[in-house]
Amino acid sequence: MSKLYLVPTPIGNLKDMTFRAVEVLQEVDLILAEDTRTSGKLLKHFEITTQMHSHHMHNEHKTTEGIVARIKGGETVALISDAGTPAISDPGFLLTRACVEAGIEVDCLPGATAFVPALVNSGLPNDKFVFEGFLPVKKGRQTRFLALAEETRTIIFYESPHKLIKTLGQFVEYFGEERQVSVSREITKLHEETKRGTAAEVLAHYTNKPPKGEIVIIVAGKK
């Protein structure tokens, strides 16, 4: 039966690829990839020869309708992103919604997602949390901080290394320098690191030691 599979891929360590993910990618008719060059290396490693097409944030509005038509026509399609679970701060939502609206079965496999190990590893409360992903770059950024300053649940952010200092400085400004923060970077990779402390302490650390790699920030909620 034709359907859409959402298939997580490793966020760093290739050993985190599941047996089921490999099996699905080998058996589907088409793989949609965020960057075919990046995913090509992954598929080659696992000896997956399935046809691959590009599906990313710049073309998903144009390609979604055609993909839905192919699935309704009998093809089974898998969507992957460069790393992690599709639709989590990556393309995937538009296609998933279109398939659901068209009555197409959608099957999301469990697998790698950067914020889960960062949250669990932070030592901060994880019984209730809110995932913010990437903050607005300019417009709406201050408004978002003002709203989140009153959030009592643990907050999860994604951030790029060259914006980390700015963001940590804004945590101090809007949340207070004593707010507990945990920064995890290069999760599952060779130089994986987690730095925990107050917002002021973590800011001082990365001011003296500029960060590299993919970053997840966990912030304690307001007491």
Please state, in angstroms and rounded to a whole number, the distance separating the CA atoms of residues 32 and 87: 13
For the stretch 164-209, pLDDT in tens is: 999 999 999 999 999 999 999 999 999 999 999 999 999 999 999 9
Average pLDDT for 31-53 = 97
For the stretch 123-167, pLDDT in tens is: 999 999 999 999 999 899 999 999 999 999 999 999 999 999 999
Model pLDDT, residue 138: 87
The pTM score is 0.93
Measured between alpha carbons, how far is residue 65 from residues 29, 51, 68, 77, 88 in Å?
17, 19, 5, 13, 21
Count Cβ atoms below 10 Å from residue 127 Cβ, excluding itself: 6
Domains of the chain with bracketed CATH? 4-108 (3.40.1010.10), 115-219 (3.30.950.10)
For the stretch 46-66, pLDDT in tens is: 999 999 999 998 999 999 999
Nearest to 175 by CA among 218, 209, 204: 218
What is the DSSP secondary-structure string of 17-73?
S-HHHHHHHHHSSEEEES-HHHHHHHHHHTT----EEE--TTTHHHHHHHHHHHHHT
Please state, in angstroms and rounded to a whole number, the distance separating the CA atoms of residues 164 and 60: 29
